[in-house]
Structures are given as C-alpha cells and as structure tokens.
Chain A
Amino acid sequence: MHALQEIRFLLRPGGSLIEIHPVPEGPLIEVRRHGRVLFATPTRSTLDEDELCAEEALAESVRGRLFGIEGSAEFDFLTYASSVAELRDFMAKESAHKEGPEDEAEEAAKAEVYSRVEQTWHAVGEGAEVARRERARIARLRPLWDRRERRSTNES
C-alpha cells in the first residue's frame, strides 16, 4: 500500500499507473511438440502469498480511493526452453534475488513437478519443448485526488 501511495505522489495530475502481476494460482509447466501441448501441470499446490498480497494491495488502494481502475485484462506469459533443466535453471536465476527462501513443502512439490515434467519430456523425445505458462493480470489505474490534496501537491 505504501508503494502505491508513493507512486501516486510521483504521478502528474492526469497520469496513470500500469500494474502487472501474475495470478496467485501460479504457472503451469507444459511439454509441447510442434506447438501442441501434450502435458501440463501446475507448479504450485497453494496460492502464492506474494501475489495474494499484490491483489490485496491493489484492492485496498481502490477501496481507499487512492486509485480508480480504468481498464484491466489478463494474458499468458510463456517462457520456452529446449529442456527441463534449462527452464529450471533459468527460473532459479530469475527468482534468486527475491527475498526469503521458499516454503520447504512448496520446494519439494516443485521438485516433484519438475521430475514428472522431465520424464514426460524424455518420453516425447525429439522435438519436445518445455514451456512455462504464467497467467498475469494487467490494469490501468488513475490516481484519485480530493481538492485539498491537489492544492497541496500544486503548492509543493
């Protein structure tokens, strides 16, 4: 919530905020061949706490009349790799700078998922491709100001 307040402060009157975050359900890992999805499995058994927090922060900013939502949509963000190991290494690097270790049970579940994906990927053989499909939400938000706030912003 604090970050959203700061963003609102940095925006000019009439400005806008574009916010993008993945859905809390987490991504799917797919094994594909020639563009066809042959196997798909979720990577999480629980909802992602960070993304739940993002959704709540946005909802709170709307309830508190910091921002109004002008438009929103969802899209799939796909990350393709030629092997399961390549995808796993890439995702590990991508999340290396995130704060805090992942929950042990989630780590174990993820290892099990990757193991199953690896087996399927080998079974498919030549031409097999692996992809991570992450559903994301995007929204355009407009800062809402009351008259008193606008005056103090213009004066500063």
Chain B
Amino acid sequence: MTIRLDPENNETRALFDLAEFGGKHVLEIGCGDGRLTWRYAGRAAHVTAIDPFAPGIARARENLPPELQDRVEFLHAAFEDFAAAHAPSEFDMAILSWSLC
C-alpha cells in the first residue's frame, strides 16, 4: 500500500463549504506538490500556485493533469518575492494552505 492522504475528502469538503471557486482567479500560497490544488482547480477560472520548496513544485508540474494545464501554473517562489513583483488587486481569492508562519 502507498500513503493515502485524506481519502475521506474532509479537507475538500470543508474547503467547498466555505469557498465558491466559479470564475475566480485564485492564488494558492504554499501549494507544495499540488495535493490540494488538484482538488479545486477544475472549479476555478485560473490558479497560480506558489511554493518556495523547489522539489515540491517540480512534482506538482510533473503530475499536473492534462485537463488542468491551461488553467493552473505552478511557480517556484517565496511569497514575499511573488507579492513584491505583482500588482495590487490581481486575485479574487487567496488560499493559504498549511503555511501561515
């Protein structure tokens, strides 16, 4: 057996109970290997997912499902650098996933 992460979909259910993704431009901060990104990206207009850990981003890009390739971009970046390089009011939603502090 391999590792199984949240097979009950508790995290996804809690996320969908709180967030409406339809037509939204989403910024995910601390996306890791894209584990959570896959679960909601199909509902969003576009997702920019960033993480400062390069191997995680490499795995996320490798495993990006073909049907999500036109709407998800994974960037290897620290949030401070990303924020400094972006204009205000660019995103409809930010997801800070397991990465505050």
Report which A residues bind B (CB closer than 8 A).
2-4, 6-7, 9-22, 50-51, 53-54, 57-58, 71-82, 86-87, 90, 97, 136, 138-140, 153, 156
Contact = CB atoms under 8 A, between A and B. Distances in A.
B88 A9 contact: yes
Interface of A is mostly: strand
Given A14-B92, A136-B14, 6 more contacts: A16-B94, A17-B94, A18-B15, A20-B95, A86-B3, A136-B11
A9 B83 contact: yes
Contacts, number: 133
Interface of B: 1, 3-8, 10-11, 13-15, 17-19, 27, 29, 53, 55-56, 79-80, 83, 86-98, 100-101
Given A9-B88, A75-B11, A97-B53, A50 B93 contact: no
Contacts of B92: 11-12, 14-16
